[in-house]
A and B are shown apart, each in its own frame.
Chain A
C-alpha cells in the first residue's frame, strides 16, 4: 500500500537558520500530499498541501513542492523562529477525494534562540 518516509529527527536549529525536512512517498495511484504540524500539547494542524505534480504548497513561510519524478515532498523554511518548534508530519491520501491519511513517523524540530 501507499507509504510515507520522512527524515528522522530530532532536528535542532538556531533561530533564522534554514530548515529542510525530507519526505518521500510510495504510491500506486496519484496521491495528494500534506504536511501537518503538531505544536507541544496540541493536536495536528494542516500546514500545507499539494494535490498534483509540480504544485507548491505554502503557508507561514513554509513551502513544499510535489515532485512526481522523485516521489518527494520536502518541507523548507528559509528562516525559522522559536515558535516553529514542533513535530512535523508528512502525509498522503491515495487520491484528492480520499479521506484516509497515511502518515510518516514525524520529525521533531527544536529551534533555539
Chain B
C-alpha cells in the first residue's frame, strides 16, 4: 500500500531531551516536507526537501533540523525541545511535478508531541 508513515504517533518528553520523529514514504517521491499544526493557525511548513541531500527552511524552522540521506526517509530532529514545540506534526511527500501540472501531496498520520 502506498503510504507515508511516521513514528512515533504520540510522544511525551521533557524540555531539552533530544528526540527524532521518523518519516518514511514508499512511493519513490522526490519532494518531502514537515508541517506543524496548531489550533487556529492551520499547518505551517517547517522544512522541506526537493531530493536526496537537498533540504531548505520553511516558514517556522527554528528549533528543528532535518536530513535527507535516502530518498524514502526524512527525519525531523529536535535537538533541545521546548514547550512551545508541543504540536501535531505531519510529514508529506509528492512526486516531481510534470511540466505545467500539479502533483498531490500525501500526508502521514501525524505525530502528537508534548514537551513538558
Contact = CB atoms under 8 A, between A and B. Distances in A.
A100 B58 CA distance: 9
B76 interface: no
B102 A93 contact: yes
A89 interface: yes
B97 A99 contact: yes
A1 B40 CA distance: 19
B100 A96 contact: yes
Interface stretch (B13-21, B78-86, B107-115): B107-115
B48 A100 contact: yes
Nearest to B110: A43
Contact of B31 (A41, A42, A96, A99): A99
B7 interface: no
Contacts of A97: 97, 99-102
B48 A32 contact: no
B109 A41 contact: yes
B26 interface: no
B43 A103 contact: yes
B42 A51 contact: no
B28 interface: no
Interface string A90-113: 000100110111011110000000
B102 A51 contact: yes
A26 interface: no
Contacts of B24: none
B90 A96 contact: no
Interface of B: 4, 31, 33, 37, 40-45, 48, 50, 58, 90, 92, 94, 97, 99-102, 104-105, 107-110
Given A42-B110, A99-B31, 11 more contacts: A41-B109, A43-B90, A43-B92, A43-B108, A43-B110, A51-B102, A96-B101, A97-B100, A97-B101, A99-B97, A103-B44
